[in-house]
């Protein structure tokens, strides 16, 4: 998930390197236990350099949150490009986050840890989920009384499913089963929700 693209100006390149280092430290130590000194050490820089780019560790965490959210959201959105049905888009999005927990549990747990420390991660992801929710309502696939309550349910179910899978507490079908439950909660009939949630996932662009 590095953003070290060729040709980046020096300041942006250094900032990106610090975020890369923070991701490594957070993944190994957790957000709460990590220190600015450890981030600087992994980046091969001084703490002064860190503070030249980020005023506090919280600012580093915020940047990590935005990096993780932007990277995954963009790739999920890209994989949904040809999908016009709001209900299927919702299922794909939820299943992909659970899939991440299956193939890269450390990354999934990192996302959950960062989300708790930096709400910006969920705020960024929210716009994608909300767009699919509203599309499903417009297509009359979803029937909800409250958009905010629906969003809370979707996010809560998705995050807990990620945690369960990342910790090895759920079966291989957990992502699709969770997506089917979400669709039913949004008003999709049982059999239809099961069919949509268990469709083959579209190809997923590789993470950089």
pLDDT at 79 (0 to 100): 92
Asked whether the beta carbons of 196 and 188 are under 8 A apart, the reply is: yes
Question: How confident is the chain (208 residues) per 10-residue block, as mean pLDDT?
Answer: 61 94 93 96 97 96 91 92 97 96 93 93 94 98 98 97 97 97 98 98 77
Tokens of 153: 């349910």
For the chain, the domains span: 10-55, 64-197
Tokens of 100: 């991440």
Fold of the 64-197 domain: Tetracycline Repressor; domain 2 (1.10.357)
Tokens of 58: 């919280």
- Taking the C-alpha atoms of residue 173 and residue 190, their distance in angstroms, rounded to an integer, is 17
Write down the CATH number for the domain with range 10-55: 1.10.10.60
Q: Give the global pTM.
A: 0.87
Residue 104, number of CB atoms within 10 A of its CB: 15
Q: Name the 3-class secondary structure at 32.
A: coil
Report which of 64, 70, 207, 63 is spatially closest to residue 126, judged by C-alpha positions.
70
């Amino acid at each position: 998930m590095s953003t070290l693209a060729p040709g980046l100006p020096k300041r942006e390149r250094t900032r990106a390197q610090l975020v890369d280092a923070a991701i490594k430290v957070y993944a190994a130590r957790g957000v709460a236990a990590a220190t600015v000194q450890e981030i600087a050490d992994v980046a091969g820089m001084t703490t002064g350099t860190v503070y030249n780019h980020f005023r506090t560790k919280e600012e580093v965490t915020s940047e990590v949150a935005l990096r993780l959210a932007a990277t995954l959201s963009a790739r999920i959105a890209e994989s949904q490009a040809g999908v016009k049905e709001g209900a299927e888009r919702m299922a794909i999005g939820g299943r992909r986050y659970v899939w991440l927990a299956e193939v890269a549990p450390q990354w999934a747990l990192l996302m959950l840890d960062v989300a708790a420390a930096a709400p910006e991660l969920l705020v960024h992801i929210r716009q994608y989920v909300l767009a699919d929710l509203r599309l499903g309502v417009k297509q009359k696939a979803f029937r909800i009384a409250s958009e905010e309550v629906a969003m809370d349910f979707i996010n809560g179910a998705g995050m807990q499913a990620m945690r369960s899978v990342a910790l090895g507490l759920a079966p291989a079908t957990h992502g699709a089963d969770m997506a089917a439950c979400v669709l039913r909660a949004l008003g999709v009939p049982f059999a239809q929700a099961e069919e949509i949630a268990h469709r083959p996932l579209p190809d997923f662009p590789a993470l950089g």
